[in-house]
Amino acid sequence: MQKTIAIIGAGLGGLTLARVLQAHGVAATIYEGEASAKAREQGGLLDIQVATGQVALRAAGLYDEFLTLVRPGEDAKRVMDRHGTVLFDMPADPGSARPEVDRGELRHLLIRSLAPGTIRWGHKLASIRHRVEGGYDLTFAEGSAARADIVVGADGAWSKVRPLLTPAEPVYSGTLFIEIALASGGRDCGASVAAIGSGTLMAVAPGRGIIAHRYADGRVRGYAALNKPEERMRSIDFGDPSASLRRLADEFHGWSPLLTALVTQSDVEPRLRPIHALPVGLTWDRVPGVTLVGDAAHLMSPFAGEGANLAMYDGADLASKLVEHPDLEVALTAYEERLFLRSGDAASRSAQNLEVFFGQEAPQSVVTLFDRS
């Protein structure tokens, strides 16, 4: 392929796309707004699915290296009610078909696999314009510019590329997360840390929940979750972290102190993470030379466990179509037909599961969900 390919965003989807293309001798350039690979922490654990994430890693030639990142024993699941009563307890499965890995470690594996110079760090896309003669002009916030025959938006929820294809924008789901964490040792919260078990705790009730993961080294990371209307969500002020955590704990009045200690004793600056989603079943008409992968194409809540997996699968699938089909538009059409089918199904399950976790039947609805899986 002689076309120049610009990938906007160095998340898992964009990195996988570039890696699989390079494995087939096709060059691509990734433009990433962050200054470096270590500019920010990359979040918690991911369970890598057999039919999506693992397929992508095999296509990228990185499956064996991925296995070295697996965290055995951390896939245990525990569901509690607000009183701290254990309703469901699934022990870790050493032979799990959906092994857990750290998102940051997986991202660094993909970054290291790319040819030097593939990623242009510090290049935040400012504008993109279709050229009459074909291809696109890109300008970046730091003042540089580039041209590309093919542009792939791998730039997440608030994609700058998506408007070329559809006016659809993410919509607030009504649920927001606030980050919580305990360093190793847990600031005298030993009983609360032990209550998590060896993996992930989900203590939920209608409209709220405390979700926490216990790492093998004793660290705890997670979220307090609340159903809040958008106007109330926007009014939350975390200017004073300690006072903010106390106010947050008030949202869990009547809950077991074993659970609320995970909030009040959190030693990380609380950050709001409103859960947004694109419309379920989003599609668009074919636009020459441009497409999307990952959250830019199908942003959804995390409750289907598919977001990162689909992003990598999207990247690998798009790469394979670009390699297989000499006609660019045939390749992009074939890719998008499959993209729409798989993302629509996952987005539907994600929306349903969000209601399962924080709807009126919680926590029993969550127990039923895990009993069926």
Same domain, 211 and 229: yes
Same domain, 163 and 61: yes
Condensed to tens digits (0 to 9), the pLDDT of residues 4-31 reads: 999 999 999 999 999 999 999 999 999 9
Same domain, 308 and 340: yes
Question: Is residue 54 assigned to a domain?
Answer: yes
Same domain, 196 and 125: no
Return the CATH number at 41.
Answer: 3.50.50.60
Task: Tell me the Cα Rg of the chain.
Answer: 21
Residue 58 pLDDT exceeds 60 = yes
Question: Is residue 234 assigned to a domain?
Answer: yes
Q: Which amino acid is at 156?
A: G
How many domains is the chain partitioned into structurally?
2
Phi, psi (rounded to 5 degrees) for 173: -80, -15
Question: Cis link prior to 363 (omega < 30° from 0)?
Answer: yes
Residue that terminates a domain, selected from 228, 260, 276: 276
Question: Is residue 366 assigned to a domain?
Answer: no
Residues 124 and 12: their CA atoms lie apart, in Å, by 17
Residues 144 and 126: their CA atoms lie apart, in Å, by 10
Same domain, 43 and 192: no
Contacts with 247 (C-beta within 8 Å, 6 or more apart), sequence order: none
Written as one string, the DSSP assignment of 66-92 is HHTT--TT---EEEE-TT--EEEEE--
Rounding to the nearest 10 degrees, give the CA dihedral for residues 38, 41, 42, 46.
Answer: 130
Residue 256 pLDDT exceeds 80 = yes
Residue that terminates a domain, selected from 219, 243, 276: 276
List the beta strands (DSSP E) in the chain: 5-8, 29-31, 45-47, 77-80, 86-90, 100-102, 119-120, 125-130, 136-140, 145-148, 150-153, 171-182, 200-205, 208-214, 220-227, 272-277, 290-292
Question: Is residue 338 assigned to a domain?
Answer: yes
C-beta neighbour count of 285 within 10 angstroms = 7
Question: Is residue 92 assigned to a domain?
Answer: no
Same domain, 239 and 323: no
Strands 5-8 and 150-153: parallel
Written as one string, the DSSP assignment of 126-161 is EEEEE-TTSSEEEEETTS-EEEESEEEE---TT-SS
Same domain, 271 and 349: no
Domain range spanning residue 352? 5-72+99-170+278-358
Q: What mean pLDDT is reported for the chain?
A: 92
Question: Is residue 78 assigned to a domain?
Answer: no
Residues 322 and 230: their CA atoms lie apart, in Å, by 41
Same domain, 113 and 31: yes
How large is the greatest C-alpha to C-alpha distance in the chain, in angstroms? 66
DSSP state of 163: G
Residues in the chain, total: 373
Condensed to tens digits (0 to 9), the pLDDT of residues 133-177 reads: 899 999 999 999 999 999 999 999 999 999 999 999 999 999 999
Same domain, 15 and 158: yes
User: Whose CA is closest to 102, among 77, 134, 124, 70?
Assistant: 70
Condensed to tens digits (0 to 9), the pLDDT of residues 286-309 reads: 999 999 999 999 999 988 888 999
Name the pLDDT band for 38 (thresholds 50, 70, 90).
Answer: confident
The per-residue pLDDT for 159 is: 98
Kindly state the tokens that stand for 288. Answer: 């020459």
Same domain, 136 and 57: yes
The per-residue pLDDT for 173 is: 95
Residue that terminates a domain, selected from 276, 303, 325: 276
Same domain, 41 and 115: yes
Return the CATH number at 196.
Answer: 3.30.9.30
Three-state SS sequence of 328-358: HHHHHHHHHHHHHHHHHHHHHHHHHHHHHHH
Q: Give pTM, 2 decimals.
A: 0.94
Question: Is residue 365 assigned to a domain?
Answer: no
Q: Which amino acid is at 242?
A: S
Question: Is residue 36 assigned to a domain?
Answer: yes
Same domain, 243 and 125: no
The per-residue pLDDT for 136 is: 97
